[in-house]
Chain A
Amino acid sequence: MHNNVLNYLNEIVKVKPDKLAYSDGTNRLTFRETYDAARAIGTYLAKEGIRKKPVVIYMNKSPMEIAAFFGSVYAGCYYVPIDEEMPAERIRLILDNVNSPVIICDEENKGRAEELRKDGQQILLYNEIIKTEHDSELLKSIADTTIDTDPVYIVFTSGSTGVPKGVVACHRSVIDYIEQLSEVLGFNENTVFGNQSPLYFDACLKEVYPTLKFGATDYLIPKKLFSFPVKLMEFLNEYKINTICWVASALSIVSAFKTFREVVPEYLHTIAFGSEVFPIKQFNTWRATLPNAVFFNLYGPTECTGMSCYYRVDREFTDTDVIPIGRPFDNTEILLLDDDGKIAGAGEDGEICIRGTAVTLGYYNDKERTDAVFVQNPLNPFYPELIYKTGDIGKYNDRGELVYVSRKDYQVKHMGHRIELGEIEANVNTFPNVKLSACIYDRENSNIILYYVGDIPEAELEGELKNKVPRYMLPRKAIKLDEMPFTGNGKLDRVTLKKMYFGEI
């Protein structure tokens, strides 16, 4: 039985050493090259005595970044990917939280890494440390003392207090997820992935690890292509990409621009979408274009490693229908719980709670916020058993399929990114000349709108916020108010704000 995600790499390198593993169209690594780079990095870290520590990876999205992930794991550490476009303030919060002894970076990010590093934190250059001679005995001794509940990575997700939360996942969760996902989606050695997700999200696991498991190939599609749908489709055709797992908004851009009139993906046969609702009109355009392809709707939180539920599209949907999220992967169970912690009645709404090996270890260095959502299964008072409360409301439809209904709180899915509106507000509220702020989400047009009361012009506030939150969290518009509306019991009245925004009052 596998107890380490690197077993996939150790095995495939013997079988298909010279096959292309990861490519971004410019940089390419075969399985042998991936293995060699990762083992060198692992040896370097181990010789420095870095073990069971978070290792920050600050690199541009590339095959080399993936090799650096595996290198950290060979050293018995766990990787913490940093987004190269993240604002400095957010990176500082992450570095404070994980307190890592090292940052591995490439030439492009070296300058910024040096600016942001904490006292005593070493900066290691990828191109230097991959020259380290492998010490197989040392790496074996590390593997021998690594168990499957040791962490593999920490990825950060939005936190409503303004401080991001680091979800830490172990080998066993990743292996369970990869095995189940691969079986359902039918990955194999002929799979050619076209990855869309950034590598600092759990979403990239869908391609990164099955590539090792099967000896498949994973093309990291340059981000820029997602603005230019014809070029994007040409990229898929050029590399004979047959499998994609994209956020629905990336798929929608392609179909909404009528790209298929000019170019059709010729090799695509498996299309998974998720992380947000796929507008049916766009979904149907894809289906009509690729009638022989299989489509999957995936659902799951970062806190449960990746995806927890799937629905394989098996019928037609009209504009008013909702595509279900279906059923959980094997070895995962969904509990739909009411406010009293009991199973919701048939057809009733309940909070989607998840149980299984894929439930991650919690938030790193953050017991309080971990304990709030990783809780004892209320249906089991007899022995310790943690479930994860997603904060998503779901229900079962007439066919017994799980359907996503809404959020319990102010978390939104915006262009595939999970955002706590509270995180934006918390950052805006730190500005000395802002008194109050509140965000609303215009789902129809995918716009975040920020309302605030304060002594700062709208454009200036927008400019300052850019230094605080990632680009995808920036409100489309900041609107200054003289007074904020409040409800009868003194809470910020977001319903009134929404009505104001849509011109209803």
Chain B
Amino acid sequence: MEELLNILKNIRSDVDFEKEESLIDGNVLDSFDIVTIVNGMEETFGIEIKASDIIPENFNTVKAMTELVEKYRNA
């Protein structure tokens, strides 16, 4: 998921997203980051993410975020 990684790198160039396993629980991302990431996902992939999907489990790793995007793209 190259595009998603690009969004993330743009938002927080200081984070090694591929390695991080607890972006939320480890306090790596803050609320402003989450807002920007969700907006980035929605714009780039033309999806609208439900508030009920904006939960820590879906943002802790790049893998989780990829699955979230895939879920909407396949819907």
Contact = CB atoms under 8 A, between A and B. Distances in A.
A466 B24 contact: no
Interface string B15-58: 00000000010010111111100100000000001111011100
Nearest to B55: A228
Interface centre among B10, B30, B33 (most CB of A within 10 A): B30
B31 A258 contact: no
Contact of B29 (A227, A231, A261): A227
B13 interface: yes
Contacts of A459: 13-14
A257 B55 contact: no
A466 B14 contact: yes
B31 A227 contact: yes
B56 A228 contact: yes
Interface in A180-237: 223-224, 226-231
B14 A228 contact: no
Given A230-B55, A231-B55, A471-B30, 11 more contacts: A224-B24, A224-B27, A228-B54, A228-B55, A231-B56, A257-B38, A258-B51, A415-B31, A462-B13, A466-B14, A477-B10
A259 B51 contact: yes
Contacts of A463: 14
Main secondary structure of the interface of A (DSSP, over half): helix
A459 B12 CA distance: 10
A466 to B, nearest CB: 7
A338 to B, nearest CB: 37
A256 B35 contact: yes
A253 interface: yes
Interface string A117-155: 000000000000000000000000000000000000000
A52 B11 CA distance: 45
A472 B30 CA distance: 9
A231 B52 CA distance: 9
B24 A227 contact: yes
A477 B14 CA distance: 11
A261 B32 CA distance: 22
Interface centre among B13, B14, B31 (most CB of A within 10 A): B31
B50 A446 contact: no
Contacts of B50: 258, 261-262
A306 to B, nearest CB: 23
B57 to A, nearest CB: 10
Interface in A384-424: 415
Contacts of B54: 227-230, 257
A253 B55 contact: no
Nearest to B13: A459
A466 B35 CA distance: 21
A261 B51 contact: yes
Contact of B30 (A227, A258, A263, A462): A227
Contacts of A176: none
A333 interface: no
A458 interface: yes
B19 to A, nearest CB: 15
Given A224-B24, A458-B13, A415 B32 contact: yes
A37 to B, nearest CB: 27
A275 to B, nearest CB: 15
B60 to A, nearest CB: 12
Please name the 5 residue pairs, one residue from A and one from B, whose CB atoms are nearest each other, closest first: A227-B31, A259-B51, A227-B34, A226-B31, A257-B51
Given A253-B31, A257-B38, A230 B14 contact: no
B53 to A, nearest CB: 9
Contact of B14 (A250, A415, A462, A472): A462
Nearest to B25: A224
A261 B52 CA distance: 9
Contacts of B27: 85, 224
Contacts of A250: 31
Interface string A254-278: 0011110111000000000000000
Given A253-B31, A253-B35, A257-B38, A229 B51 contact: yes
Contacts of A466: 14
Nearest to A459: B13
A279 to B, nearest CB: 13
Nearest to B32: A415
